[in-house]
Amino acid sequence: MKNRVLRTLYTKFATEMTDEELLLGTSYGEYVSSVADGILSQYGENTKVCVIADKKENSCSAYTDGKEITVNAWCDAYKALTGNLKERHWCVLGRIVHECGHILWSNFPLMKKTQEELENKGKLYPAPNVDAT
Which sequence spans correspond to the domains of the chain?
Answer: 2-121
pLDDT attached to residue 131: 62
Would you call 123 helix, strand, or coil by DSSP?
coil
Of 9 and 119, the one with more pLDDT: 119
DSSP secondary structure letters along 38-95: HHHGGGT---EEEEE---STT--SEEE-SSEEEEETTSGGGGGGTT-HHHHHHHHHHH
Angstrom distance (rounded) from CA 48 to CA 71: 11
pTM of the model: 0.78
Statement: residue 78 has pLDDT above 60: yes
Give the pLDDT confidence score for residue 31 in this predicted structure: 94
Phi, psi angles (nearest 5°) of residue 37: -60, -35
In three-state secondary structure terms, 128 is coil
